């Protein structure tokens, strides 16, 4: 699929399941992924999410905020992530200060290429928007014999933004983790599993809910986790 194909599908269906091969091809058309291995390895250095209202200790993350326009993408000073309870009934309503994404990754080729891809894709859908506020989240969801991992503990939800990219970085020793897309009337419109690095979900957040089923270890004696990059764009 080409960039216009993604835009057409988002307009028609409010989501896209982008397979790894075509997604990587689209990213490489935007720029370099030369530091991809180091970028993916940085998920081994995420901090525990201490804001989980369910007291879970299965989520690790880092966070950064950017500003994107047609001419520039620049990182903003570190700031909290905030969602209202309307959009996150579990963890919303409070400012959540997460550890920042490290400069090497934030300024690196892979993330900058991903941000350019998103900017061009979403700006084509909303050409009147001159400036985007972009939030970037590195997530690792861990699973063990004692506790399954919940990628979306709040359940099916919207993020309160315009568009969302969920890009798979790595799956290790896990079962399930199925992405579900729901219509605004509550019906399930699609489901698929991000299984290979670069598999991605693109979501029109105003017109669709999304969620991911719990993950369990295939072999409880080995580490089990799901690493994703989540990028949200909303009008600045």
CA–CA separation, 15 and 204 (whole Å): 6
CB 221 within 8 A of CB 144: no
User: In this predicted structure, what is the pLDDT of residue 87?
Assistant: 56
Tell the CATH topology of 3-235: Jelly Rolls (2.60.120)
Q: Is the pTM of this model over 0.85?
A: yes
Domain ranges of the chain: 3-235
Convert the pLDDT of each residue in 167-224 to its tens digit: 999 999 999 999 999 999 989 999 999 999 999 999 999 999 999 999 999 999 999 9
User: In this predicted structure, what is the pLDDT of residue 55?
Assistant: 72
Q: Which residues contact 15 (CB under 8 A, 6 or more apart)?
A: 9, 181, 189, 190, 201, 202, 203, 204, 208, 210
User: In this predicted structure, what is the pLDDT of residue 91?
Assistant: 65
Counting as low any pLDDT under 70, the low residues of the chain are 83-92
User: In this predicted structure, what is the pLDDT of residue 95?
Assistant: 83
User: In this predicted structure, what is the pLDDT of residue 137?
Assistant: 98
User: In this predicted structure, what is the pLDDT of residue 140?
Assistant: 98
């Amino acid at each position: 699929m080409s960039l216009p194909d993604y835009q057409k599908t988002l307009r028609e269906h409010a989501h896209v399941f982008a397979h790894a091969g075509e997604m990587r091809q689209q990213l490489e058309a935007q720029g370099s992924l030369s530091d991809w291995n180091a970028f993916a390895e940085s998920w081994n250095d995420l901090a525990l999410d201490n804001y989980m209202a369910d007291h879970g200790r299965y989520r690790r993350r880092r966070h950064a905020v950017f500003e994107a326009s047609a001419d520039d993408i620049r990182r903003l000073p570190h700031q909290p992530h905030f969602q209202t309870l309307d959009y996150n009934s579990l963890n919303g309503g409070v400012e959540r200060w997460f550890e920042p994404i490290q400069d090497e990754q934030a300024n690196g080729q892979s993330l900058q290429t991903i941000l350019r891809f998103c900017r061009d894709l979403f700006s084509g859908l909303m050409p009147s928007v001159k400036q985007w506020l972009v939030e970037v989240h590195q997530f690792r969801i861990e699973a063990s014999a004692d506790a399954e991992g919940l990628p979306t503990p709040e359940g099916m939800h919207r993020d309160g933004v315009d568009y969302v990219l969920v890009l798979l970085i790595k799956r290790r020793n896990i079962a399930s983790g199925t992405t579900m897309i729901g219509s605004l009337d509550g019906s399930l419109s699609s489901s698929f599993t991000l299984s290979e690095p670069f598999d991605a979900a693109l979501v029109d957040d105003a017109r669709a809910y999304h969620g991911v089923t719990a993950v369990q270890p295939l072999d409880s004696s080995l580490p089990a986790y799901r690493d994703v990059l989540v990028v949200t764009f909303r009008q600045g």
